[in-house]
Structure 1
Amino acid sequence: IFFRHMRRWLWLVLLALTSPCASAEPRAGETAEALLPQLHRIIEYATKGPGQGRAYRRAAEFADRYGHRISGSENLERSIDGFREILEAQGLEDIHHEPANISHWVRNDESATLLEPLIGGVKKQLPMKSFGMSKPTPPEGIEAEVLVVKDWEELVQRQSEVPGKIVVFAFPWEGYAIGVKYRGNSHKAVARFGGVASLIRSLGGFSLASPHTGNIGTAPSITDPALPAALHGDYTNQSVPTAGIAVEDAEMLARMAKRGQKIRIRLFMSCQTFPLSPSRNTIASFKGSTTPDEVVLVSGHIDSWDVGQGAMDDAGPLLVGLEAVSILQDLGLQSRRTVRFVTFVDEEIGGHGGVQYFKDHSDEVDKMVLVMELDNGIWDVQGINLAASDKAVAALRDTTTALTSINASRIVLRGNTSGLNGLGVDVSRWTRAGVPTLSLSQFARRSYYGPTDEDGMPDWEGKPPPQHFQGDYFFYHHTDADTMSVLDPDQMDRAAAVVASYVYVAANLKQPLPRGPFVPNGVIGLEKASDAATCSDGQQNGDETGVDCGGSCPACGLFNFEAQISMTAQAFREQEDKYRTAVAESLAIFTRRVVVAAVKEIQTTTTARFQVQAVAVLIDTDVKMSFVPETFTEASLNAKLAAQGLPQAQFTRLPALKKRQEGQGGQRGQGRNGEGCNESVPSPSPSSASAFSWRLDLSVWLLGGLLLIAGLAGAAVGAACTTSGGCLCWRQQPAGRPSAPKAESYDKMSPNRERERAASSSNSLTVI
């Protein structure tokens, strides 16, 4: 304990000695570029300094103490009081509550029992969750035959079969934006056709008997053009009980229906809807020094569904927002404008907290510089989603220069109407009023369920998949599995660093972010590219959401997905003799998705020799190994490379488990997470050597006088591995590519994750 605290105090002393004097009070005429020294301090403090792990610890203590916090419950009110104590302990200013009347819905007892076609009198309990604001079944429940449909069109086609039946929607998972339409509208459509209840497949790509809940909304009509016209119209007083069932049960019922078997279910729901209940939004501030009436707003919501701990949605992101404000305060980074932290209530059911806050503060629209809501995940944050004018985007653009050090430099532009929907329910009215709006852009792991090629690689056919990459978030979203176990301390630190960086820049620019029409949907890559091809209507960009792209923003360095593919593919064609180098250089600018798509585009005009090299370089250059499925092994790729007489791939980021399964030798030791490390790493071919540079992420750990000094000797390209309480490896990094964050345990669900992370924090060399 003594040495742990000694390390923290030493860090603060060194920080004070090396910090520029200008950090306390920003100079007049600041730009994002001028603020880079402070941004580097923010990132260091959050990811390696005293802020490391604090957001996770705070969130865990809060979630473990209060559990789930559904609107209208006494526990929500207790948690609001408890959160105020956290704000007071941090020393924020002007902490107060503002009243808001919120939704009040109670689940009570519920069950779904499969009666037929099981034989021998066997009955199967189907895990289920009533949807918020659903009506209950009669007290005796409902026992009825089941009709299974795969989509809206089949429901319309078979509407004559609906009367008296429970309708099960067993639709394929194509993303939340599509699936949520069933949750919000199925109860109305089934009621119109004479059904007695609606059960829908849970909104996620994966389930362990973990049904999802969620709100059905209160809209009295169906007008969505994505739904068949036959369903459009007024549905006042037309509704049936509705709930979610587990993915595997929906698929089972679909199989039974396909066989022509008669299906019968008994459904019981005793949920209740009450009048609005009094509650409170909570507000705290970090007052500005120059123009305190101008505000940068950071927010999240404190309520959750009555399942799990409400950790991922939204205690974790909420505490990340608080951590961002805390970092600025701890470092003494005075802001020109006021930074306001708002904790909303009732986001999940009725959204009344956000509505009330906008009503109470609508006179501040002109003074609101930037608003952000943290409510869409904090896993492997790649950057931000942003709705802003072209000049505002350009003003924030240089912030990404600092964030490349933690691989969080992506800016996903969400200016189209479809893009605005993902920026936050509680701040949506500010967004529609023209206030620049920001949220975090995460990268979901282990989540591809689309088609693959012969090597098991995602087969995009030159296009981004709709939302197949939303995986992990919707595995747990609104389920009993939403607990602290799904969050990661290091990733929360990175998220806090991103939020704090953008908050600090927005709060200290000489002029407020310029207003104007929002830049249409698009993506800004890792490097500036003001001369890149611009978007045109109807094209797709490289965002995970696959939203439409239109318009242009040369000042933003806007990259269009199709343009990137075309440019990259052409570069590959022109450099067949240096194909591997070309791919590596492209990865320094474009996303991995673009490069893979470009390789797909030129399959008909290049040989297998060049295609397999591209995949090898993707492996060599440490680009999001989470894209590589478990079936794609080192042996299978290297066999193809050997057949073409090509150098072997390095695979330094693959889990060592794969190497052990394949009997790979040459290991020198075991890392702290049980993963091995190659004793030597093959040098790249001469043609690719220029595309790589040494990556060194070195920190010093002082423990009772022990000093570990690691050095790199010589200019020759090679690799060294040594053991210091674990297996530490030097790795090559492609030129122009930012350093990756330190490697994480691949066992994200390990109960020992905190201990493993603490044990490995004594140095910052990558643990392989």
Structure 2
Amino acid sequence: MKLLFLIVLMYMFDQHKGNRLSNNPRPFEDIKREISDYSEVAKKIINLAVYGKAQNRSYERLALFVDTIGPRLSGSKSLELAIQYMYKALKNDGLENVHLEQVKIPHWERGEESAVMVEPRNHSLAILGLGGSVATPPEGITAEVLVVTSFDELHQRAQEAQGKIVVYNQRYVNYGETVLYRGRGALEAAKVGAKAALIKSITPFSINSPHTGIQSYAVGVPKIPAACISLEDAELIARMSSWGSKVVVTLKMGAKTYPDADSFNTVAEIVGSKYPEQVVLVSGHLDSWDVGQGAMDDGGGAFISWEALSLIKDLGLRPKRTLRLVLWTGEEQGGIGAEQYYKLHKMNISNFDVVMESDEGTFMPSGLAFTGSDEARGIMKEIMKLLKPINITQLFGNGEGTDISYWMKAGVPGASLNDDITKYFWFHHSQGDTMTVQNPMEMNLCAAVWTVVSYVVADMEEKLPV
């Protein structure tokens, strides 16, 4: 009986060797040797992606997709067409378990919109209404503007804001800090009795190009129309106001919010050969704003994630764990599709090895951003050495992403692509987000990084330690 028990125990241990080991972990030198053994496979992936038959494939696939479908706003017909397009494309690519997982996402449409300065002279302003904004009355809102440079200044001048259109002419510090004006601009203006809010676009550079994005309201605070205007127009109005001129603007917005729409996260896999229940997830989001083509945000990230599975399939590789591609929906509204995916799959959270998301462009890559334990970071540093042939070996901190944040908060290691985002926010959420900003060679390199990392993590004998 004792012998039978020992046999069963040994069998169970063998079946779970792919789990994270909390007791008696392997010496790190052994892990380093295991990773170094992937050097030839890594070279094959790099050669195929950067120099071989798959060269420029992710770029060409992306161009066909965005030129055919165009922008893909949450709840729109074009997003529905995009999801069906990708479902067929992934099937035709020969990937496994291609399927759609239903979710509910917001449905907002901007409608017709305009803004015109009527005093001290006539001038049409370049605007883009913000996601979720309410409409103006059909005749529009005509009011004097109050220019402020910060929330503090707004509240200090609260008495002046009554019945006016607040124009935010804030200084751009960085996206993470400055985007608060887009997100809370209407809310804070409404608190002091303003009729509408116009926010200087959240970008360091402009050619009279407004940028859209999501904004929020709060219970108990009146909802007022909100739009972004270009840097040039915000600064023009600010200069006029500083000279003592009375600036009056007529704002018209026909925005509508509809009931939440049916949509889908799009999923495809290469099923693992030894631990198929365990998952390495690569991802990008399929939705975009309704301007430009959504080529950069986040077409590039979605398509290098697809490319990772294609390259592995083309090389006849099958990792020990399942490599799962998820193309999220409703990311621009706050990761709505990803949140529902997490709720659906979190009961299997112990099977998720690492979650990866590319959503800050696919420009010249410099490495990988990663969040995980010190032991996991050590392993990822070794994996990045496999990319020495293309000199992209750095491992950074903060591997964050809107769609993978739910898993990361629960303790799953997370990674994101680190690339040159110098010009990313020039085009972000604007008409300028088109294929023109994409570079095929840079996408090839991004795909190589994404594929080498995801494959090696999926194929190692043990999961990343937490």
TM over 0.5: yes
Residue 22 of structure 2 is matched in structure 1 by none
Alignment match, 2:90: 87
Amino acid at match of 2:402: V
Deviation at 1:32, TM superposition (A): 2.1
In 1, the alpha carbon distance for the partners of 2:211 and 2:418 equals 23
2: CA distance, partners of 1:350 / 1:176 = 16
Aligned residues: 436
Residue 334 (1) aligns with residue 285 (2): no
Tell me the residue number matched to 2:336: 352
2:336 pairs with 1:362: no
Alignment of 1:63 onto 2:66: yes
Query: Which structure 1 residue ranges, 4+ long, deviate > 6 Å from structure 2?
Result: none
Residue aligned with 1:439, SS: strand
**5+ long unaligned stretches in structure 2:** 1-29
The RMSD of aligned alpha carbons is: 1.4
* CA distance in 1 between partners of 2:202 and 2:221 (Å): 26
AA of the residue aligned to 2:116? T
**3-state SS of paired residue (2:118):** strand
Q: In structure 1, how many angstroms separate the alpha carbons of the residues matched to 2:62 and 2:128?
A: 25
- Code of the residue aligned with 1:45 in structure 2: it is L
- 1:351 Cα deviation from its structure 2 partner: 2.4
Q: Secondary structure at the match of 1:97?
A: strand
SS of 1:398 mapped into structure 2: helix
Structure 1 residue 405 and structure 2 residue 356: aligned? no
TM-aligned CA deviation for residue 350 of structure 1: 4.4
- Residue 264 of structure 1 aligns with an amino acid whose one-letter code is V
Any residues of structure 2 matched to 1:595-744 within 5 Å, and which? none
Q: Structure 1 regions of 5+ residues with no counterpart? A: 1-27, 221-234, 415-419, 445-470, 516-768
- Percent sequence identity is 41
8 Å Cα contact 1:31/1:395 also seen in 2: no
Indicate the SS of the match to 1:125.
strand
Q: CA deviation at 1:402?
A: 2.5
Pairwise CA distance, 1:335: 0.3
Amino acid at match of 2:323: V
Alpha-carbon separation, structure 1, partners of 2:394 and 2:158: 46
> Any idea what the Cα deviations from partners look like across 1:487-546, whole Å, max 9, x if unmatched?
00000000000100110111011110001xxxxxxxxxxxxxxxxxxxxxxxxxxxxxxx
C-alpha displacement of 1:296: 0.2
Match of 2:123? Answer: 124
Quick check: 1:112–1:128 contact (8 Å CA) kept in 2?
A: yes
Per residue, is there more helix in 1 or in 2? 2
Is residue 295–residue 435 contact of structure 2 (8 Å, CA) maintained in 1? yes
CA distance, structure 2, for counterparts of residue 440 and residue 116 of structure 1: 47
Report 1:29-178 matches (<5 A). Answer: 31-118=34-121, 123-178=122-177
Contact 2:211 2:428 in 1 (8 A): yes
1:204 aligned onto 2:226: no
Equivalent-residue separation in structure 2 for 1:203 and 1:52 (angstroms): 34
Deviations 1:66-116 (A, max 9, x none): 001111111111111111111012100011111101110011000000111
* Aligned-partner SS, 2:202: coil
Checking the alignment, whether the CA contact within 8 Å between 1:139 and 1:270 is kept in structure 2 is: yes
1:317 is matched with 301
What letter corresponds to residue 481 of structure 1 in structure 2?
Answer: G
Separation (CA, whole Å) in 1 of partners of 2:42 and 2:137: 59
Corresponding position of 1:393: 377
Structure 2: distance between partners of 1:274 and 1:179: 29
- 8 A contact 1:280–1:353 mirrored in 2: yes
SS in 1 for 2:453: helix
Highest RCO, 1 vs 2 (Cα 8 Å, sep ≥ 6): 2
Aligned to 1:485: 436
Please say if 1:284 is aligned against 2:268.
yes
The 8 Å contact of residues 396 and 505 in structure 1, kept in 2 or not, is answered as no
Report the Cα distance in structure 2 between the residues aligned to 1:505 and 1:238, rounded to whole angstroms.
52
- Per the TM alignment, residue 124 of structure 1 is displaced from its structure 2 partner at its CA by 1.1
CA drift at 1:406:
2.2
Matches of 1:185 and 1:383 in 2, distance apart?
A: 33
- What is the distance in 2 between the residues matched to 1:238 and 1:37? 62
For residue 117 of structure 1, what is the amino acid of its counterpart? Answer: P
- Answer yes or no: is the 8 Å Cα contact 1:102–1:350 preserved in 2: no
Q: Paired residue for 2:366?
A: 382
Of 441, 449, 452 in structure 1, the residue corresponding to residue 418 of structure 2 is: 441
* Equivalent position of 2:23 in the other structure: none
Please tell me the residue identity of whatever aligns with 1:74: K
CA contact (8 A) 2:191 2:221 kept: no
Shift of 1:476: 0.4
Q: Distance in 2 between matches of 1:442 and 1:257?
A: 40
CA deviation profile, 1:105-146 (whole Å, cap 9, x unmatched)? 01100000011122xxxx211110000001111111100001
Q: Distance in 1 between matches of 2:450 and 2:334?
A: 26
1:498 aligns with 2:449: yes
Instruction: Give SS of 1:213's match.
Output: coil
Cα shift at 1:321:
0.8
CA contact (8 A) 1:103 1:350 kept: no
Q: Residue type of the partner of 1:75?
A: S
Higher strand proportion, which one? 2
Deviations 1:127-170 (A, max 9, x none): 10000001111111100001111112211221111001101101
Residues in 2 aligned to 1:297 and 1:238: alpha-carbon distance in whole angstroms = 41
1:40 Cα deviation from its structure 2 partner = 1.5
Q: Please name the residue that 2:26 is paired with.
A: none
> Normalising by the residue count of structure 1, what TM-score does the alignment of the two structures yield?
0.56
Quote the residue 1:717 is aligned against: none
Corresponding residue SS for 1:275: strand
Q: Kindly state the Cα deviation for residue 407 of structure 1 after the two structures are TM-superposed.
A: 3.1
Q: Partners in 2 of 1:104 and 1:310 — Cα distance?
A: 17
Per-residue CA distance 1:239-295 (angstroms, 9 max, x = gap): 311100011111111111121111110000110011111111111110110111110
Look up the equivalent residue of 2:55 and give its one-letter code: Q
Partner SS, residue 340 of structure 1: strand
User: Amino acid of the residue matched to residue 274 of structure 2?
Assistant: T
Cα distance between partner residues in 2 of 1:293 and 1:363: 13
Q: CA deviation digits over 1:545-592, x for unaligned, max 9?
A: xxxxxxxxxxxxxxxxxxxxxxxxxxxxxxxxxxxxxxxxxxxxxxxx
